[in-house]
Structure 1
Amino acid sequence: MAASATTPSLRDAIHSLWDSNPEVQAARADLEAASARARAAAQPLYNPSVAFEAENADVNRRTAGISLSLDVSGKRKARTEQGLAELTASQASYDLLRRDVAARWLKAWSAATLAEQQRELGQRRVALMQRFDTLAAQRLKIGDISSPERDLAALALGEAQIQLATLQANEASARAALLALIGETPTQPVALEQSLPPASVAITPLPLDRRPELLQARAMQASAEASIQVAQRARRPDPTVSLTGGQVRAGPMNDRVIGISVSIPLPILNTGRAEIDAARAQADAATAGVRARQWTTRASLQESQARYDALRDAANAFGQGRAAAFGDRVALLEKLWRAGEIGTSDYLVQLKQSVDTALSALELQSQVWQAWFDYLSAAGRLTDWVDGRTEEPGNE
């Protein structure tokens, strides 16, 4: 896998995951709800009221009236700004969740792939031990090895079978983690590249304030600050203007009447100051949350980059050394044992070391890929990497 692009099959798999994952679907529904609330907040606050009155007495009265409260304090504007801020926060939360779900899937996918390779290596070890056990039985018959050495071969086969069961259990666990994200076993699993991911310098982290965590925190801060304006506007009373017209009949007299009235509530019993204080406290908390998120995001990037560089350097050094030549070493050991140049115990010790080293190499490769996905997430470039957008942030 190169830094410049992902494979089409991997990209398609992640986009399919985003379409089908229940967590993403729930976040998408929340985003649609936030969009609807933003549209609702932009609507006028007050609807007109219509009233009809009729009275039969000494004076017969027939009137109709219409009244409307006027938003003279700017409540609609404040609510609109808060709705848009909440929509921005919801969009940031949605993007962040998509990134986290993709990261979890990538880590589960790579873990399952490498667990499969470890299980295959465990099966190969069992096959080697079975072959060795058969050869040891034959050599015991002709007196080339002793009975204790023959028992060593049988014990080594039993140990290999036990370790294979452990590897099979690990593979099942890794596949279960993947199944929990996609809901079904993939019919055509995406293959993991054998080469290591690129060096961390191949991906330029996004500026701190453009990373998803900070976008979400700042959007929540903007929403909290907008709520202050909403609370301040809410405590200012709005007048209600009423217009009434009709007829009044008293005996032979029939007069037309028209009237206008203005009413305004008095904020005496509830001044609304407590709501403003609460909104300011929430805004202060959101501002502190932005600072805290800046610190944790910066520290996370440094930690994930250092861990990834260390693991990648170790895996690269292992791949270039003699320890990586597993097949050649196994063949050489059997040749030396057949020739009698090494004893049975030495052969088993060295073969076990070779297999354990090969398994450790696969584990190291898995850790490298896990660290790579963590680094991409911390750098704010995971979704860019998935979609093949790996240019410099300023040039995108």
Structure 2
Amino acid sequence: MAAVPTSQLSVSNSSLAQFNDWLPQVMSRFNALPEIQAQSARRQQAQLSIQAADRAVYNPELGMNYQNATDDTYTLDISQTIDWGDKRGVATRKALLESEILLSDITLERSQMLAERLQALANQGQAKKALQFQQQQFKRAKAQLSIARQRVEVGDISAVELQLMELEVASNAADYALAEQASIAADGAVLGLFGEVELPFADFLNALSIQSSKIEVSPELPALKSAYQQVLVARVAVKQAKAETAADPTISLSAEREGNENKVGVGVSIPLQFRNNYSEVIAVANEGITIAEQTYLAKERVLLQQQKQFSLSLPRLTKRYQDWSELVLTSGSEAAKNLAQLWQTGDINTSDYLQSQRQMSNSYLAGLDLESALYENWLTWMGTSGQLEFYLNRQLSQTARSTIK
């Protein structure tokens, strides 16, 4: 077995996550994406909605009338309906809440999009590691096959053992080809999400911890904030239903000239809600509160289950990965070197040598699977809960402060 590429693993176990090497460039590229730019337009749209709601509900009405008779009559009147039910105030409060919901949704969307893109970059990095490893394995197998042919010529090993070595080379060639395809697919995923393939990225496994996430599930968590605000909107919707169905009075002022006589009039009109008091409309709005509350509780229950799964699985994955990396880093390369020497000197037969090679190869690839599982577990939770962007921005702030120092 070729030497385990420990240089790749040591990056994962560095004492500090090297966010400053790649995170600023990735975040800059992320913020330049068209779908992120569209979010800015949605924010502006929400602000305009608030301004639109905070406008007068009723405009004054101007009326003019002329009547041709023995004494011509000219009438001019102006009327204004008063927002007695506070339609404007309720609409403004609702627009503000809906704007907050939009901002919460955008925060959650951004975290989920970042999680998807960082997962793609992590997968790309893992695929490159696997490709490099399989390339080394293929080169090692071909070199050992050359040695095996020399040993057959001198009668050191049998022709059957040579055939086993040839089969090993063929197997490594297939693994190498599959690793190439996996790497190409990982590059394609990054290209689809970022619009380019080559982006800076370094392992940050050391930063994947429970402490980087808020353990408590509360309405302030981005994943729940929108649903909680929907409850507040539903309550405001009841007030809005009452305001919309309120009997708003209309005051009018008129001036009339009939022949040589001038007249001035004042009038007040109030809708009489005898035939329809709109109680059903208000009842429908009240039911909306129940629906919103139950929707929130359902989302909270799902998020609590996801949080519990995360808090249980991540520490165990981290412990297993640490155990694996200690064994691989301390003994993997030396064992591979010694194994090759033992086979070349004839101290172990070809069958045992190949079996040991596969065991060490599987051990390294299992470590890559553990790394991938760690990334997926952490990024999935941080994206689902909506905390990822806040965490990354905090890393950027720390990077900026360390740069200034």
Answer whether TM exceeds 0.5 for this pair.
yes
Tell whether 2:88 aligns with 1:76. yes
Instruction: State the one-letter code of the partner of 1:191.
Output: A
Contact 1:5-1:385 at 8 Å conserved across structures: no
The answer on whether the counterparts of 2:217 and 2:303 sit within 8 Å (CA) in structure 1 is no
User: What's the CA shift string for 1:94-136, capped at 9, x where partnerless?
Assistant: 1111111111112221111111111111111111111122222
Shift of 1:337: 0.9
Structure 2 CA distance for partners of 1:267 and 1:175, relative to 1, 3 Å: farther
Q: For 1:226-237, list aligned pairs within 5 A.
A: 226-237=236-247
CA distance in 2 between partners of 1:151 and 1:45 (Å): 89
Q: Is the 8 A contact 2:152 2:158 kept in 1?
A: yes
- Tell me whether 1:6 sits opposite 2:19 in the alignment: yes
C-alpha spacing 1:172/1:134, structure 2 compared with 1 (3 Å): same
Cα-to-partner distance string for 1:286-340 (whole Å, 9 max, x where unaligned): 1112222332222222211211111100000111125763332222111111101
Distance 2:389 2:300 in 1: 20
Tell me what 1:387 maps to. Answer: 393
| SS of structure 1 residue aligned to 2:267 | strand
For 1:225 and 1:4, the matched residues in 2 are separated by 45
Would the aligned equivalents of 1:242 and 1:260 in 2 still touch at CA under 8 Å?
Answer: yes
Q: Aligned pair in 2 of structure 1 residues 184, 389: CA closer, same or farther (>3 Å)?
A: closer
**Stretch moving more, 298-307 or 226-235:** 298-307
Per the alignment, residue 302 of structure 1 pairs with 308
2:154 partner amino acid: I
Identical positions, percent = 23
1:221 shift after superposition? 0.8
Q: Choose the corresponding residue for 1:142, options 124, 147, 154.
A: 154
Name the structure 2 match of 1:216: 226
Asked whether the equivalents of residues 3 and 198 of structure 1 are also in contact (C-alpha less than 8 Å), the reply is no
Structure 2 Cα separation of the partners of residues 262 and 350 of structure 1: 98
| Pick aligned residue for 2:168 from 140, 149, 156 | 156
Partner of 1:394: none
Cα–Cα, structure 1 residues 124 and 80, in superposed 2: closer, same or farther, change >3 Å? same
Query: Are residues 203 and 33 of structure 1, via their aligned partners in 2, closer, same or farther at CA, if it must alter by over 3 Å?
Result: closer
Q: How does 1:169-248 map to 2 (within 5 A)?
A: 169-186=181-198, 188-193=199-204, 196-201=206-211, 204-205=214-215, 208-248=218-258
Matches within 5 A, 1:41-190: 41-186=53-198, 188-190=199-201
CA separation of 1:379 and 1:306: change in aligned 2, threshold 3 A: farther
**CA–CA separation in structure 2 for the residues paired with 1:31 and 1:268:** 43
Distance 1:374 1:348 in 2: 38
Q: How does 1:357-376 map to 2 (within 5 A)?
A: 357-376=363-382
Distance 1:363 1:322, change over 3 A: closer
The CA distance in 1 between the partners of 2:217 and 2:195, in whole Å, is 35
C-alpha root-mean-square deviation of aligned residues, in Å?
2.5
Give the TM-score normalised by structure 1: 0.89
Q: Secondary structure at the match of 2:22?
A: helix
Aligned residue-pair number? 384
Structure 1 unaligned segments of length 5 or more: list them. 392-396
Asked which structure has the greater RCO (Cα within 8 Å, sep 6+), the reply is 2
TM-score (norm 2): 0.87
- What per-residue deviation string (whole Å, max 9, x for no partner) do you get for residues 152-186 of structure 1? 11111111111122222222222333223223323
**What SS does the aligned partner of 1:53 have?**
strand
**Does structure 1 retain, via aligned residues, the 8 Å contact 2:231–2:289?**
yes
Seen in structure 2, the aligned counterparts of structure 1 residues 82 and 260 have a Cα distance that, compared at 3 Å, is same
Consecutive aligned runs of 4 or more in structure 1 exceeding 6 Å deviation: 1-5
Separation of aligned partners in 1, 2:80 and 2:220: 45
